[in-house]
Structure 1
Amino acid sequence: METTAPRIAVVYASAQGSTREIADFIGASLSARGATVEVADAEHAPDPTRFNALILGSAVHDRALLPELEGFVRDHRHELRARPVWLFSVGLGPALVGPLGHLMGRAVPKRIAEVRDAVMPRGYRAFAGHYERAGVSLPARALYRLLGGSRYGDLRDWTAITAWIDTVAQELKLPRPQAIPTHP
């Protein structure tokens, strides 16, 4: 009996490219395991009914997912609830250290929880993204430091992202990767 490769959509909303790069890496990683994967931004996302599973991701601004992803979820909530879905966000929270930073960084903001609860994903994970000092106001930089932000630049933890992809692949019963994709 021949089995067909699962069809997976990775739908993302990115403000400056960090989330897009993570979405592309997720897509390449699942493709390397034999899945048929389509990666698309939320504004040009394919019909969710064409897929066996979906992975949704968004940058976080003002403690909320970007409106493009929120709109996609709102418009397709019934289709998303009918299939396996995973959700990830990309923001500063996971990069914060210290007692206040850990408390703030590990809490799921209300608006993100509302989107999460609307689709009932099998898993949700917050990842750190990019945070550049240039163009950020002095009060915002001071708040970042106060909350435990220790550095600027690319704060993504590719090991944690890869481990999360592995859990998704295991739940989808995908084989080990044929080749290991590299992150940006």
Structure 2
Amino acid sequence: MTQSSAIRPAHIAIVTVSDRASRGEYEDKGGPGAEDWLRATITSPMIVSRRIIPDGRETVADCLRDLADHQGADLILITGGTGPAPRDQTPEAVADVIEKELPGFGEEMRRASLREVPTAILSRQTAGIRGASLLITLPGKPSAIATCLDAVFAAVPYCLDLIGAAWIETDPAYIKAFRPKK
């Protein structure tokens, strides 16, 4: 069933969490990498917004609350801040704002990443729902972002359907979205 012509475009927010990138000392590659992946994969109308913010639990949580509660983001992809370093507090910030955790996302992203690098076990990827927003944490490197999104994105459109978010369709040549037959 195609619904893209009947409803609004999906608002997808990409948040880069990086002290250095937020200060302009480092080029953000994660945000553009995530956006490139989305534009190659999603065929339905979408609006993509991007933010670059510093690391820190409250900073990240405040940004996520704003995107979900005030900006109406259907899907929020958060790159960076998921490792074991002291300033890496993205998973804690996500835990502070979500209403339901979806641990299968993190499990599958780590499994896919472990096929490529042994340090994937250090990653603390997670996902969850706040209202009608799906939040997914990702690594900061574009190739790792692609690996993670390739691993989980087939379930994203149906999850968005279930929470009352915007309808999205994917190009089956990249990712075949799974929706149960009615």
Range of TM-score over shorter length: 0.3 to 0.5
* Higher strand proportion: 1
Larger Rg: 1
